[in-house]
Amino acid sequence: MARAIGSGRVRTERVLRRAASAGLDADGVARSVLWVMQLAGCVFVAAALWSFSIDDWPSGSVWPHAPGTRNWCGRAGAWVAYRMLHALDYGAWALAGLWALHVVVTGFVSRVGQTVARALGAALMAASVAGLQRLLGEGSGAIPDLSGGVIGSVAHAELTGRFGGLGAFLILGVALLVGAVVTLDAWVFIVPAWAWGRLRAAAPPVASATATAATKTAGAWARWIQWARARLARPSKAQSAAATHKKKRRAAQQQPAAPAAIDENAGGLGGTEAFDPDQSLAQPEAPAAAQPAEAPRAAPAPEIKPAAQALTPEQLRAKISKLPLRFAASGKKAATEEDLRDVQNQTDLEGYRFPGVDLLEEPEPGYGVKLEAFVRDQASALERALREYRIDGEVVGIDSGPVITFYEIRLAAGTKVAALQSVASDLARSLRAVNIRIVPNTAGRDTVGIEVPNPHKEKVRLKELMGKSEVYGGMSLPMFLGKDAAGNPLIADLSKMPHMLIAGTTGSGKSVCMGSILMSFLYTKKPNELKLVLVDPKMVELSQFKDVPHLMCPVVTEMGKAAAILEWAVRKMDERYELLMEAGCRDIGAYNALSWEELRERFAPADEAEEARIPKKLPFIVFVIDELADLMMTNKEVEGSIVRIAQKARAVGIHLIVATQRPQANVVTGLIKANMPSRVCFKVASGMDSRIVMDQKGGELLLGQGDMLFLSPRSSELARAQGTLVDDKEIRKVVKFLREVAEPTFERSLMQIRTGSAAAGGLEGDESPEGTIDHDGLTAAQADPLFDKAVDIALETKIGSVSMLQRRLAIGYTRASRLIDAMGKAGILGDHKGTVAREVLISPDVWEQMKAQAAADASGSAGQEDGLFAGPSPDNQPQPSEPPADEAPDGLGSDDHEPGSPDESDESADADAEAPPFETDEPVRSPRR
């Protein structure tokens, strides 16, 4: 029993906690219970009043009472109804109605204040109703001989005795109005306001009808009076004949009919003719029906004229067959090595070879020829559908693209585009299309465009677009995006954009578009001209490019590290701006155009060490982020870094390509969108997502699988296009070729960034930020003779574990833990992650360089520090592989420096000298596979 009571108490407390978590506090529960009780009471009183019977107890009008109780609510209901009707009669119904209104308002609208005042007002209204019932309807009531109840009878007797019947009526009416205002506030004026509004709405038609009837009646009377006056003023025929006979008998004999003819023409009525008012009223109305005022009503007839021009199916087909049909895809030409030579740099980085176009798939032949018959038949069907939906227009042009066909429609004068947009869904059904998109305006033409999907999509190949060398010949960073709706190549220059936002749902073609962009870079730029940083949280989209020599660091898959890399990019941007300021250049193009003699003249180095650190060329740096939503959720500071790079980094050659499959307002914020004017939208889930990305609807109507809308920074018009298709097989072939040509050269500062920490880098002399190599800590840690061996074990096993060192080195927990902490302080291991082993942040090559640096510091020699110059070579480019027989050695070779520049031993003498903040740390070459 005690256990049951205890479990019941626990359940009660659990229910109370759930109620509290749902926002139902004690006061709320009490109010809800009170409202339910009021609702039940209101229903009880209404039922009791409705079923009241004079035969039920405790009525005093009938004796003896009827057996049983007829009231629905029993004896209690009969008692309540009798007492209320006995006191107020009809006023009881008013009181019950006000109570019901109070219950409804408090339960479904809002709480009611000033309850006491409203209750007094309701009582005043009930008493006034009872008094008015007694005054106006004596003899009527629920109880015989007691009309108005006791209160109504008393009020009637007192008021009529002092003020008479009229005074009593005025007093009771005013009391009723005052009680209504106190009880109902402004609600009392709702019914009068509604009645007044209906009266005002009905007044103009009534007044107009009255005025029309009065005008017709007055006109009829005026015409009748005019006729009567004219008839009385004209002499009769007999008087005219007698006068004529007296004056001239001969004239009267010779011309007897002349007066009659004159009379008939003048009056039109004989002496025996009666006046017909209906006929006289109808005569003036006949010309009114034909007067010119009615002519404008027939004016719309010319607008319906095209409907009369309905062509037969044969005539329509003949008309459509004469329209020009443009197939830009009909003149396909696959790219050759000569087409790419204008954009490829053949001089720098000797030994590097671009991938051949033979690694790419051939374009699809004969697509336009297969589609021509279908497109013309669809144009005929479109024109018939326009006529069926009473849209006055005709097809005047056809542009067939790889995925949709663009029909130019010329609308008749006075036909609105909104009428065409309102039947877009009906037109799609008539054309048997998934959906259509209406382009309200076409630049430079007076036509409207309708985009209708083709039955089959054309595969737009990269090899075909590369054959348009006349389009991309002068571009710095060409991107082969696809073909527009007319079949023309869509090739854009990233350096002019200068950043790009890509959005689309899963399967819409977003990842394929990013792959085609990266392939465009690999075919047009060498590693010394372009550096790539790839951020891929999915670990499968961009991992195919992990071996290309253009990478500055391995593909980033951790969002915490990606945020730190963006902070590093901001610092790199600032450093490059200082470099351009020192060189007196406005942008990266002006700097790269300077010769070596001009650079030395502008920088004026003090010695050979400073001269060796001047970068001869600055490469473009492109950050490709596959999923912006994950990055925004990881770190709140990411938006600031992206916005700052997007605002300033164009001049120094740093560009962003950001993609997301969740184009929400908290991901694609206003600042990010405002600083990325170039956007690509693939199929999205809703029109709201399309508005977020492209500032207008349309993205939800796309077909998927590469169908996209492109917004250029130089235009506000959206371009419909089909994205370039690059297969995984093509990517693997190109990456394999480049892996055999050259190895990626990683940036040391990027390799040393820890997950979730700040980016590496900084000015010379600054403290090493978290995540960089601490040379002082490394030198101190090497005092332990087992430190180097412990690092070798960590590099071998790829983890930093205390238990691993205990087993391998046969040492205790304290010393193993101290070695792990020392490796973390030196930047070799990542942060502590609870029971999980620490991550190894460096490669064996980096460890060898760190030991060499520490040895140089310990011996007192001035080794080369992590300065602000990348070295004398063009931003420390990766060296091409030698022929297959000879393999390039690991690490930094002597080829990394310009001929004639001092080597590391010479540079180390001036390493501690202050240097201007030019390019950052020297790169780290990835280990050979």
**How does pLDDT run across 485-522, given as a tens digit for each residue?**
878 889 999 999 999 999 999 889 999 999 999 999 99
Binned at pLDDT 50, 70 and 90, residue 19 comes out as low
In the DSSP assignment, the letter for residue 256 is S
Do residues 563 and 574 make contact, with C-beta atoms less than 8 angstroms apart?
Answer: no
How far is C-alpha 687 from the chain's CA centre? 6
Least confident of 31-40, 242-251, 913-922: 913-922
pLDDT, one tens digit per residue, over 737-786 is 999 988 888 888 887 776 544 333 333 333 333 344 555 567 667 778 88
DSSP for 408-468 reads EEEEPTT--HHHHHHTHHHHHHHTT-S--EEES--TTSS-EEEEEE-SS----BHHHHTT-
In the DSSP assignment, the letter for residue 836 is B
Helix (H) or strand (E) holding 721: strand 718-723
In the chain, CATH 3.40.50.300 covers: 462-741
Does the structure show a pLDDT above 80 at 196?
A: no
Binned at pLDDT 50, 70 and 90, residue 273 comes out as very low
Integer Cα distance of 906 and 612 in angstroms = 10
User: Per mean pLDDT, which of 60-64, 65-69, 265-269, 582-586 is the most reliable?
Assistant: 582-586
CB atoms near residue 750 (< 10 Å): 26
Beta strands in 587-711 (DSSP E): 620-625, 654-660, 678-681, 707-711
Integer Cα distance of 559 and 633 in angstroms = 9
At residue 138, the pLDDT reads 66
Q: Which SS3 state, helix, strand or coil, does residue 397 take?
A: strand
- Of 510, 407, 405, nearest to 455 by C-alpha is 405
Classify residue 120 by burial, with Cβ atoms within 10 Å: 0-12, 13-18, 19+.
middle
pLDDT, one tens digit per residue, over 605-662 is 888 878 888 888 899 999 999 888 888 887 778 888 999 999 999 999 999 999 999 8
Binned at pLDDT 50, 70 and 90, residue 368 comes out as low
Integer Cα distance of 699 and 660 in angstroms = 14
* 843: Cβ contacts below 8 Å, ≥ 6 apart: 751, 795, 924, 926, 927
Does the structure show a pLDDT above 50 at 264?
A: no
CA distances from 791 to 101, 754, 804, 850 (A): 83, 17, 12, 11
Helix (H) or strand (E) holding 481: strand 478-484
Task: Supply 572's token pair.
Answer: 């790199």
Integer Cα distance of 375 and 163 in angstroms = 93
| Secondary structure, 3-state, 3-57 | HHHHHHHHHHHHHHHHHHHCCCCHHHHHHHHHHHHHHHHHHHHHHHHHCCCCCCC
Q: Token pair 């038949």 is at which residue?
A: 377
Q: Which residues pair with 829 in a beta bridge?
A: 840
Does the structure show a pLDDT above 90 at 532?
A: yes
Q: Token pair 């001009």 is at which residue?
A: 598
Identify the CATH assignment for 307-335+365-453 out of 3.30.565.10, 3.40.50.1220, 3.30.980.40, 3.40.50.10800. 3.30.980.40
Identify the CATH assignment for 745-925 out of 3.30.450.90, 1.10.150.120, 1.10.10.10, 3.40.50.720. 1.10.10.10
In the chain, CATH 3.30.980.40 covers: 307-335+365-453
pLDDT, one tens digit per residue, over 809-856 is 888 888 888 888 888 888 888 777 666 678 888 888 888 888 887 777
Do residues 391 and 366 make contact, with C-beta atoms less than 8 angstroms apart?
Answer: no
Integer Cα distance of 777 and 822 in angstroms = 7
Do residues 282 and 346 make contact, with C-beta atoms less than 8 angstroms apart?
Answer: no
At residue 85, the pLDDT reads 87
CA atoms within 13 A on the CB side of 500: 29
Binned at pLDDT 50, 70 and 90, residue 322 comes out as low
pLDDT, one tens digit per residue, over 397-414 is 888 888 888 899 999 888
CATH class of segment(s) 462-741: alpha beta
At residue 834, the pLDDT reads 63
Integer Cα distance of 465 and 481 in angstroms = 9
In the DSSP assignment, the letter for residue 235 is P
Integer Cα distance of 383 and 410 in angstroms = 11
In the chain, CATH 1.10.10.10 covers: 745-925
